[in-house]
Amino acid sequence: MIEIRRLLADLEAVTKAAHCNGIGKSGEFRLGVRIPPVGEPLRTLLAKWRNEHPCVALTICEMSDDEIQMAIESRRLDVALVIGYSALPMIATEVLYREQLFAAVPSDHPLFNHASVSWEALRQETILVQDWPNSHDTREFYASVVGAGLPFQSHSASKQSVFGLIGAGFGVTFAEESQSQVSFPGVVFKPIAETNAYVDVRLAWLPDAEDALIGRFISFMRDAARTTIPDNESRRVSW
């Protein structure tokens, strides 16, 4: 009888697990990110997901735009969080929210005393950008808003490494508002007082993906962004 009860319990557990997997309440998925998930609102959105889906394992991979596209197309990633200017043909995307751009400058820089900065002031600076041999979206975006022909310096490195160079006085860079909430030695963040100083944060996935868990994550993030981020609907449309 004990063996029968154990077998029935095991069968019930397997059935329950299969049901949860089928409706996207358990399992695992791979999330690609273009920017580290630090600061708000992304930290809160992921925390809410974790609290409501404790049986889901999430593996995070930080990649360049080109790497994210290839990884999604080859199904090495299930879904990604990318910046709005990333070119991702044949991949479905949806804007979650919008972030203001800040200038990251050395703490001993003359702009330290400014409450905010303009594109004009930044055109006089050496601008450090994340740039890879096959992925120039970030540099092209900066050139489109600040101006072409600027003294960009490209670095195939993480944003943290770029901030390290800023703190050492090598130039300035741009940061999303969420990144400005994190402290980096020798770096100060100044809001950019321009109407086009923003980026959209988007979800990206294969349009033919049929995984229940991925569908649940996309729906959750979409709904959570609407209800968690103040004025998110107006920000997504009118900024």
> Across residues 85-93, what is the average pLDDT?
84
- Same topology, domains 2-98+199-238 and 99-198? Answer is yes
Higher-confidence position of 17 and 140: 140
Span 99-198 CATH architecture: 3-Layer(aba) Sandwich (3.40)
Relative orientation angle of helices 212-228 and 42-52, to the nearest 10 degrees: 130
β-bridge mates for residue 83, sequence order: 201
Q: Tell me what the mean pLDDT of segment 38-53 comes to.
A: 93
pLDDT of residue 232: 60
Q: What confidence tier does 58 reach under pLDDT thresholds 50, 70, 90?
A: very high
The DSSP letter of residue 110 is: G
Question: pLDDT tens digits for 92-121?
Answer: 999 999 999 999 999 999 999 999 999 999
Confidence label for 135 from pLDDT (cuts 50, 70 and 90): confident
- Which tokens sit at 108? 């001993």
Of 7-21, 78-92, 142-156, 207-221, the least confident: 7-21
Beta carbons of 34 and 65 less than 8 angstroms apart: yes
Peptide bond into 41 cis (omega under 30): yes
Q: Which residue has the higher pLDDT, 177 or 231?
A: 177
Report in angstroms the alpha-carbon separations of 97 from 7, 83, 192, 203, 226.
49, 10, 18, 10, 8
In the chain, where are the structural domains located?
2-98+199-238, 99-198
The pLDDT value recorded for residue 225 is 94
Structure tokens at 51: 């609290």
* Per-residue buried b or exposed e for 113-132, using 16+ beta carbons within 10 Å of the residue's own CB: ebeebeeebbeebebbbbbb
Residue 113 is given by DSSP the state G
Distance CA 175, CA 157 (A): 14
Question: Does the predicted model carry a pTM greater than 0.95?
Answer: no
Please report the sign of the dihedral spanned by the C-alpha atoms of residue 40, residue 43, residue 45, residue 48.
negative
184 forms beta bridges with: none
Percent of the residues in the chain that have a pLDDT greater than 70, as a whole number: 86
Q: Per the CATH hierarchy, to which homologous superfamily does domain 2-98+199-238 belong?
A: Periplasmic binding protein-like II (3.40.190.10)
H or E segment and range at residue 102 = strand 92-106
Residues 102 and 92: beta-carbon distance below 8 Å: no
pLDDT interval class at 145 (50, 70, 90): confident
177 has pLDDT over 50: yes
Write down the pLDDT at residue 124.
87
